[in-house]
Chains A and B, each alone.
Chain A
Amino acid sequence: MVLRLTGLPQSLCTQRTLLTLLEKEVKDFELIPIDWSTGEHKRPPYTDRHPFGVIPFLEDDDFRVFESRAIARYLAVKYENQGTALVPAAGDTKSWALFDQWASVEYCNFHPLVYEVLTHKLWNPFKGLPSNESIAEDNTVRLAANLDIYNKILGQQQYMAGDEFSLIDIFYMPAVNMLIQAGQGHLFEERPNLKAWWGKVSDRSSWKKIST
């Protein structure tokens, strides 16, 4: 069995899959870097495998899958009998319904806003591209309003999908870290339950290995 993950350790999306592998105590995998500086991932042969030309990309023998959250779900189910339990048990309809609810909350109410904030406050400046202040501001305001709601949710449950750490928390962690790097850490510092959640998840040994 050969598990090959194409990605970069500092990439937000690759970090979701690396965290999953660490939490599931999977050691037998290869991380294959791409050459970001030459745009290797934006042209064939990479784009023959990944039509959107982004990372990460997983190969499990001859099985291929892309999209970090899909890769993470696949790994969490494949290795369900080892490491941290990251997804509900098969057949637990109610738990899976709630898991999919909280998964959707992340990619609908958090990710698109964070992506715009990071684009205009971190990535565009890094690449020497122009940033649009009004788009950054609009998305920061809307993100802050949603983080108030997250703060209330985390007053009633310990983690993003309930009272146990799960794959849903992993979906958030790299983006939260990058927001902090982009100078937006106050968004979490100012909200006590969010701050406590970040303190818990960033204290996990998997996160400490990723972030060094």
Chain B
Amino acid sequence: MVHIIGMWQATCTSRILAVLAEKGVTDFTLTEPSFVEMKSPPYLEKQPFGQIPILEDGDIRIHESRAICRYLAAKYHDQGTKLLPDPSDIKGWALFEQWASVEAENWNEHAFPMVNQVFFNKLKGLPVIKEVVDENREKFKQRLVAFDAILAKQKYMGGDEFSLIDIFYYPYTKKLFQIGEGALIEGHPNVKAWWERISTRDAWVKVSNPDYKGPE
């Protein structure tokens, strides 16, 4: 059985929960480590950066939420929402990788530092470096012009169909709204429409609910 070490409400864990929900997978377990445990030697053997999430599935153990998502989407390829290209579709995979890289390089690259400063640093009692937030907001605004142009030509971030690429965007886009930066999304009509499309999907509505503790 698939076992996740993560947190029900954590950003990166939520990507995995969204995949499992889109695939209709209910047979999994999740344990929540304490922050102290995450820095302990046995934990660091599994995840040297002391982060969540980790996946354990038989003799496979991996960390990194997007890698775990890819693994699960492939494992459950034949059920639920189609999230990946077919294995033999080399061009489909090239475009998948292109859009996966776009998410990391052009969206998360700026969304994460803003969220990290305003949300996570505050949580940890660390100072918020306003220049990091301001600089990343300005760079993100430029990227959003390009995203709006892309989403004028395709309905989703990976093409004309919903895919794993859209799932990658969920957590930090949601957090942008939580830290009061939702105007960045709402200010671009195609980006706004895309966010409305994907954030109202049943799977995301379920797993992003603050009370979500797994499938009933």
Contact B67 A146 (CB under 8 A): no
Taking the complex as formed, is A78 at the interface, i.e. its CB lies under 8 A from any CB of chain B? yes
Residue in chain A with minimal CB distance to B110: A112
Contact A67 B97 (CB under 8 A): yes
Contact A97 B135 (CB under 8 A): no
Taking the complex as formed, is B60 at the interface, i.e. its CB lies under 8 A from any CB of chain A? yes
Q: Which of B59, B90, B113 has the most chain A CB atoms inside 10 A of its CB?
A: B90
- Residues on B lying within 8 angstroms of A by beta carbon are 48-49, 59-60, 62-67, 70-71, 74-75, 87, 90-91, 93-95, 97-98, 100-102, 104-106, 109, 112-113, 129, 131-132, 135, 143, 146-147, 149-150
CA gap between A94 and B57 in the complex, in Å: 10
Contact B64 A105 (CB under 8 A): yes
Contact B60 A69 (CB under 8 A): no
6 A-B interface contacts by CB (under 8 A): A74-B93, A97-B60, A101-B63, A115-B109, A132-B135, A153-B48
- Residues on A lying within 8 angstroms of B by beta carbon are 51-53, 63, 65-71, 73-74, 77-78, 90-91, 93-94, 96-98, 100-101, 103-105, 107-109, 112, 115, 132, 134-135, 138, 146, 149, 152-153
CA gap between A97 and B62 in the complex, in Å: 7
- Chain B nearest CB from A124 CB (Å) reads 11
CA gap between A132 and B133 in the complex, in Å: 13
Contact A101 B67 (CB under 8 A): yes
Contact B94 A73 (CB under 8 A): yes
Contact B64 A101 (CB under 8 A): yes
Contact check: which of B60, B87, B102 meets A52 at CB < 8 Å? B102
**Chain A hits for B49, CB < 8 A:** 105, 109, 146, 149
Contact B109 A103 (CB under 8 A): no
Residue in chain B with minimal CB distance to A63: B91
Contact B48 A97 (CB under 8 A): no
Contact check: which of A71, A74, A97, A109 meets B67 at CB < 8 Å? A97
Given A67-B97, A90-B87, A104-B67: A52 and B131 interface contact (C-beta under 8 Å): no
- Chain A nearest CB from B11 CB (Å) reads 12
Contact check: which of B90, B91, B109 meets A112 at CB < 8 Å? B109
Contact A69 B135 (CB under 8 A): no
**Chain A hits for B70, CB < 8 A:** 96-97, 100
CA gap between A66 and B93 in the complex, in Å: 13
CA gap between A185 and B149 in the complex, in Å: 40
**Chain B hits for A69, CB < 8 A:** 97, 101
**Chain B hits for A91, CB < 8 A:** 87
CA gap between A104 and B90 in the complex, in Å: 20
**Chain A hits for B102, CB < 8 A:** 52, 67
Going nearest first, the 5 A-B pairs with the smallest beta carbon separation are A104-B64, A67-B101, A70-B97, A100-B67, A74-B94
